[in-house]
Amino acid sequence: MSDKAVTRSGMSRPITLLVGLAATFLVISGLRDTANLVGPTFLALVLTIAVHPLHG
């Protein structure tokens, strides 16, 4: 057996960590760029969920 730690996908653990961090950075950057759209949409979702029990 090899001494390198290999995940199920076949990539080494440091590479998996770097890819995960890069993906997290891209998601956060995308959310910051689209905050003027995501904010009101999330607010509408929260208000809909909060008011839904009052309707039924």
Q: Where are the domains of the chain?
A: 13-55
Name 19's Cβ contacts closer than 8 Å, sequence gap at least 6. Answer: 11
Identify the band that residue 37 occupies on the pLDDT scale cut at 50, 70 and 90: very high
Q: Which residues, in sequence order, are bridge partners of residue 6?
A: 12
Of residues 54 and 34, more confidently modeled: 34
- Specify the pTM: 0.54
Q: Over the chain, what is the mean pLDDT? A: 86
